[in-house]
Amino acid sequence: MDKSSIPKSVRELNILIKINQDIISTLVFEDVLQAISNGMSELLNIETAAVYTLHNEHELLLGATTPPLPPGVPLEVRLASIDDHPHIKRAIQDRKYIVVDDTKTAKLSASEQSIVELRNLRSMLFLPFVLKGDVLGVLILGTCNEAREYSQHEVNLGQTIANHLAVAIQNAKLHQDIKDHRDNLEKLVHEKTQDLKTAIEELQAANDELYDKNEIIIDQNSELKDTLQHLKETQAQLLQSEKMASLGTLTAGVAHEINNPLNFIMGAYARLEKYFRNKPDPDFKESDILLESIKEGVERISNIVRSLNQFSRSSSAMDEECCINSILDNCLTILNNKIPSNISIEKRFNLNNFKVRGNAANLHHALLNILTNSIQAIDDEGIISITTTKDTMGSIASVVIQDTGRGIKNEDIEKVMEPFFTTKDPGMGTGLGLSIAYSIIKEHKGSIALTSDEGEGTHVHIKLPLILQTQQIKN
């Protein structure tokens, strides 16, 4: 058995998780494309990559490259005719990957040859982004200087991930369109408001009797601004929910693809263990150690896959039995690669894995946001403690997440649950994590309270109604 297959699967899984996290950490279309370009280049261990999106029926738009494009490249430089790039055109028409083993022997167009010479490309892989039969663009991966033969596993994995990432591209483009529409709406509201104020001032100078009507118009204008603010918050939360749904779809597909080879490995492990136990061998103890190492590695990957499956469940129902301790363990498994060695996790779970009624995927989302904030709040050595208890009546579950991070300023405590409020540096957060967590806990008829001392850490206390024992027996 090839022992290198297990580390390779873990590496691919870690890179895919990083791609997912990079995508959901931004709402900017260009940043999503750059995350895809960098991530896929790293996943297949290739020196250079480029992401083209369909600009119109006849043109492509270069959205991102690895290494990245210099800032400020004008639009006309990034546009390219589809007819000038026959390999891209063929990938779009066939909705299937195209492989160029060696550019020195391949038949290339003049435009393609110029790009090959500019980047010194040898082997190229064209992967179309396909969503519901429609092609949104093409990912081009290439090696420099030396030719390389792509394995069928790399091609299949690359095409599968490219199709899943098409959802993220579509959502990012949708966000960009909504943002442009919102900016135009704000500009129109601003212009109309200015015009309205000018008209009011002229009418008031001519006739003071219009004062009352002027007050009414001002009130209506204020209501319009409040409505627009509410629309912004709703749009932002909707986009975040859509991105999480896209992440769930991608994660579920990747987990399924990884689970199949794990089953083969476990089957081979069982046969090998049986073989060595039935056949006397003086080196059996050493073989036993190696077999246990294989088993432990596979079980670790299996635990990660199970946690991802729980996180990516797609359901809007609020009638699921949700095990709080299991959800917290799944969140810690998902965040394992984000927890540095200087942070200790202390778990004090109630021995009875009590349950609440609601939506398991949403509760994963809420608790994942809170734990992520705790991890990011610790700069040096620190501790995150997680405690689960229930009240004396056995009707309320309590989840307390406490960290020894930098804490929150007193004047910011009342704002942390508001949409768009963040204490992080610009570009490091959207300000929606705690707002979404607050909404999810409220949907589950629970409460969330936060206290913090600057420089001392933060204490988050969540209360949720338990499923009573009589209800569980009845169900």
- Each residue of 432-465: pLDDT tens digit? 667 788 888 898 899 999 998 888 899 999 999 9
Query: What is the predicted pLDDT for the residue at 126?
Result: 92
Query: What is the predicted pLDDT for the residue at 216?
Result: 84
Query: What is the predicted pLDDT for the residue at 236?
Result: 57
Radius of gyration of the chain (CA): 27
Q: Which residues of the chain have pLDDT under 50?
A: 1-6, 246, 427, 470, 472-475
Query: What is the predicted pLDDT for the residue at 154?
Result: 82
Query: What is the predicted pLDDT for the residue at 224?
Result: 82
Fold of 315-474: Heat Shock Protein 90 (3.30.565)
Query: What is the predicted pLDDT for the residue at 256?
Result: 55
- Count CB atoms within 10 A of the CB of residue 221: 16
Tell me how far apart the alpha carbons of residues 379 and 408 are, in angstroms, rounded to a whole number.
14
Q: Cis bond leading into 465, ω under 30°? A: no
User: 140 CB contacts (<8 Å, ≥6 apart)?
Assistant: 49, 50, 51, 52, 88, 124, 125, 126, 127
Q: Is the pTM of this model over 0.85?
A: no
**DSSP bridge partners of 52:** 62, 138
List the CATH code of the domain at 5-173.
3.30.450.40
Query: What is the predicted pLDDT for the residue at 460?
Result: 92
CA angle 442-462-450, nearest 5°? 100
Per DSSP, the three-state class of 344 is strand
Tell me how far apart the alpha carbons of residues 107 and 103 are, in angstroms, rounded to a whole number.
8
